[in-house]
Structure formats: structure tokens, C-alpha cells
């Protein structure tokens, strides 16, 4: 099964909608609750990252009997130092975003913890691509 969503940068009112849709679809497939939770956490964090940092992006979901593969591709400022971005507590989020309780520097670490594979590549000034795999 394939699903695709557009994500608008800066639109916090819609943040989480794509992740919720994917969770609902997976619920129909009788995925284990613990696995479903890991996917929901990883996807939500990834979706919020696009909203908080990029201009626009897409989430492409591919579900096979063995795993879910999610690719998030965005147009945005990109990440200068991926190693730094992966550190818990590091964030470049704006004050406005932080006041909402985002930008605690836990998003990428949460994605790593809750996925089986995570591939993050970025071209500063152009955008970022994140690939997440969670096995069922």
C-alpha cells in the first residue's frame, strides 16, 4: 500500500495530520500496538520537523507485509551538521516554535530510537531527505 501527503512548512495547525492518517491505516492491518506506537512517534517527529524547519515537503509511505518505509523530502534550509542535529538537546527552532513546546532537540533522537533504520541526508540551502524503516 502506498500513501502520499504534502506538508506545508510553518503550518502547525495541520501538523500531525499525515501521521494520524498513516496510523489509522496501519490500525486496520492489525499491526502490534508497540510497533504502531514506534511508527506513530517516528512519523510525527519527522512531520513536525518539516513543518518547523522547511518551506514544504512530502511524506511518501510504502507499506509491505514486512515493513513500513517512509520517505520525507523537503525543500528548505537543509541541515549544516547532521551529527550535531542528531545530538539530544540540539535544536535550531525559533523561539515561537519553542514556546509551543517543540524544538526541544528530541525529535531526531526520537526518530532514531523508534525506527529500525533511519537515513538522513541533506544539502544545505536546498533541502533534506529522511528515510525511516520500521519492521513489523
Partner 1 sequence: MEKKNLKKLIEELEFKCVTGVNLLDKEPKWAYVSDLLSDVMGKAQPQMIWVTSQIHKNIVAVASLIDLSAIVIVNERKPDENMLKLAEEEGVVVLTSDKPAFETAGMLYRDLAPQPPKGKRGVFKRT
Q: In the complex, what is the shortest distance from the CB of residue 127 to partner 1, in angstroms, rounded to a whole number?
A: 22
Query: What is the rounded CA–CA span in Å between residue 125 and residue 22?
Result: 29
Piece of 13-21, 58-66, 71-79, 123-131 that binds partner 1 (CB under 8 A): 13-21
For 2, the enclosing helix (H) or strand (E) is: strand 2-8
Angle ∠(88,90,51) on CA atoms, nearest 5: 105
Among 4, 80, 96, 113, binds partner 1 (CB under 8 A): 113
Q: Note the Cα 60 to chain centre separation in Å.
A: 11
Please provide the size of the chain in residues.
Answer: 136
Nearer to partner 1, 3 or 40 (CB): 40
Binding site for partner 1 (CB under 8 A): 12-13, 15-17, 19-20, 23, 33, 37, 40-41, 44-45, 48, 100-102, 104, 106-107, 109-110, 113-114
Amino acid at each position: 500500500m502506498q500513501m502520499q501527503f504534502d506538508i506545508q512548512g510553518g503550518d502547525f495547525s495541520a501538523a500531525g495530520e499525515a501521521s494520524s492518517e498513516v496510523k489509522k491505516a496501519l490500525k486496520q492491518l492489525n499491526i502490534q500496538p508497540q510497533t504502531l506506537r514506534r511508527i506513530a512517534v517516528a512519523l510525527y517527529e519527522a512531520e513536525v520537523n518539516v513543518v518547523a524547519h522547511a518551506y514544504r515537503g512530502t511524506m511518501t509511505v510504502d507499506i509491505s507485509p514486512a515493513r513500513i518505509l517512509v520517505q520525507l523530502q523537503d525543500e528548505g534550509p537543509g541541515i549544516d551538521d547532521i551529527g550535531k542535529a542528531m545530538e539530544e538537546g540540539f535544536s535550531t527552532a525559533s523561539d515561537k516554535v519553542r514556546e509551543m513546546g517543540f524544538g526541544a532537540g528530541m525529535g531526531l533522537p526520537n526518530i532514531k530510537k523508534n525506527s529500525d533504520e533511519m537515513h538522513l541526508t541533506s544539502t544545505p540551502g536546498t533541502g533534506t531527505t529522511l528515510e525511516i524503516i520500521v519492521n513489523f
